[in-house]
Amino acid sequence: MSIHHMGQKIAFADIKTRLPHESWMYTQNEAHDGEFDAEEVWLHSGDLHIPELLLDEGPFLIMVEGNLIVDRYIGNTESDAAASNLVVLGDLTTPYMLVGGQEIYITGHLYVEDMFWGDYNHGELTVRGNVEGGLLVSTEQYGIQVQGQRKVKRQLQEWEDLGPWQGFDMLKLFVPECVIDEDTEEPFLWREEMIKRLQQGQPVIHREYIQAAGVEPDVPDWFEDHRVSAENIQRLTHPSLLPVKEDDELLNSYEFWLGEQFCRASVYGDEHTEGYFRSLYFQDEHGCALLLKIEPVDQASGSPKELAEQAEKPAWKISGAYRYVNRENSEWSVFTEKSPSDIQKLSNHGWDTLLQSVSNYQYARTLITSQRIRDLLALPIVEPYDDYYDDDRHGLWIGDFYYAFRQAGQMCDGIPQPAMLRIGREYVDIEGETRVEKYYYTLHQHVDGSESVLIEYSAQEDEDDDEEPLTIELHYAGGSQLLHAVQLLERGRKEIIQANEDLLNGELPYGVDSFAKRYWKSKGYLK
């Protein structure tokens, strides 16, 4: 819909000084002796509310001196060279923007409930305020400049970024009528059909997939209550949580950082060891440290029946101590209700964090079976990649992702390591920086004989970055990223299995190493 009947038709020369002086139109016009001065402008003074705005047929510039609300969409079908530029000297609100080939400049905030899609390097969006909404997409080097904050559910720089790493693909995000998927190597969007549907008031995307990244898992509470009690400390040091330790070790612990909070749960010895105790240790970023300990109370008195009951269910004594690890005098002090407020805060926050993290852990171990990882590590395609710590022999590319493999018992610094699968990718983020992301799926043994899959995530600038990447233990952290890690493994599993079938049918993975080819031939996997 055009707005010429709502405003006035004037020449660019008459309004150019009212444009933002850093806009492309203004700077280009000033630098080239008023080359746009004679171009037509449709100017609307004040706020404007219209059903739709099609930028294919119109003047050189549409300018709104106020807020602009568009009910259905703003768009153009030809992104190489759209007819109309758009300047809004206020806020812009609309559910969809499918643009490209022009300058769009907003001096206030941009609210796009469902999707902004900017396509092609001839176009650029500039927003002085915030961008809020659903999906923010820039493809084919489309420029997006936001001076405020980006408060969107998902950002994509190319459609290829949908794929397994994002947990869904183009065919799931868009309604089928908007995607051309026949006789093409990759599916692509039919922009004309998208605009046609929007003109009819019909959706073009499935909103639930935009929000899928933020879905939180429904984690059962593993504790009957959240009191600081001997019963709960026993539960926090349960054998199903503790790793298998060496025979000569008396202290058995699990520990983790979650943000700025450190937690450790430990067991010293066993019921028959002198000095046997169970403990929790908390520390925060300020160097406050707190130790909570339970020790069995000697009750060796009473009738034979009472002694038998005591042996089955010993009584515990709880004690606590605190200190400041960064101070010169870092001696332990007895922890009481009158201890300093920062220690009380650490006690509350550390306790709550540990209980939630253990509930997350017990939930996470139900999501992926150990056998799933073992089955993948046993595939013929994996066999030649038998040294996780070698630059060449640790894994291969399949599609857009790099898969690395570690078999159980592989040595690192003289210590045998558990089996592990790693899925990684290298990509360019919305700011143009190269990033590397990796998810790790590691088999883990517990004292009680049970096994689980530890799920971790790391990110760094690039592979040559000397800094140790930050690793998040998702099995403790939980949240939507834990669910995404499970989805990614399932997609990755399908890719590995398909590549393995292709290998057995004589089709090699792209760019595979020569040593792997020789190995597969020697085993008879390749004819």
Report pLDDT digits (tens) over 220-248: 999 999 999 999 999 999 999 999 987 77
Handedness of CA 282, 287, 288, 294 (dihedral sign): positive
Q: Give the pLDDT score at 168.
A: 63
366: Cβ–Cβ under 8 A, 6 or more apart, which residues? none
Q: 239 and 383 in contact (C-beta within 8 Å)?
A: no
d(CA 371, CA 362): 18
Task: Give the single-character DSSP code of 176.
Answer: G
- How confident is the model over 95-138, as pLDDT tens digits? 999 999 999 999 999 999 999 999 988 889 999 999 999 889 89
Supply the angle between the helices 370-377 and 480-504 in degrees, to the nearest 10: 30
At residue 4 the predicted structure's pLDDT band, cuts being 50, 70 and 90, is very low
Tell me the C-alpha distance between 175 and 334, whole Å.
Answer: 64
Which residues are bridge partners to 124 per DSSP?
Answer: 103, 143
Q: Is residue 253 scored above 50 in pLDDT?
A: yes
Cα→Cα distances 4→61, 76, 100, 101, 226, Å: 11, 17, 21, 21, 65
Q: Which residue has the tokens 């007819």?
A: 83
Q: Is the pLDDT of residue 299 over 60?
A: no
Phi, psi for 427 (deg, rounded to 5) = -150, 170
Evaluate if residue 281 carries a pLDDT over 80. yes
What is the average pLDDT value for the chain, to the nearest integer? 88
Q: How far is CA 168 from CA 124, 171, 421, in A?
A: 27, 8, 21
pLDDT grade for 213, boundaries at 50, 70 and 90 = low
Tokens representing 301?
């008195």
* pLDDT at 380 > cutoff 90: yes
pLDDT at 308 over 90: no
Centre a 10 Å sphere on the Cβ of residue 481 and count the other Cβ atoms it contains: 17
Q: Is 263:354 a contact under the CB 8 Å cutoff? A: yes
Q: Which amino acid is at 217?
A: P
Q: Model confidence over 347-369: pLDDT tens digits?
A: 999 999 999 999 999 999 999 99
Closest among 451, 422, 415, 462 to 438, alpha carbons compared:
422
pTM of the model: 0.69
**What residue type is 90 in one-letter code?**
G
The dihedrals phi and psi of 293, each to the nearest 5 degrees, come to -135, 140
Of 195-209, 249-263, 421-435, the range with the lowest mean pLDDT is: 421-435
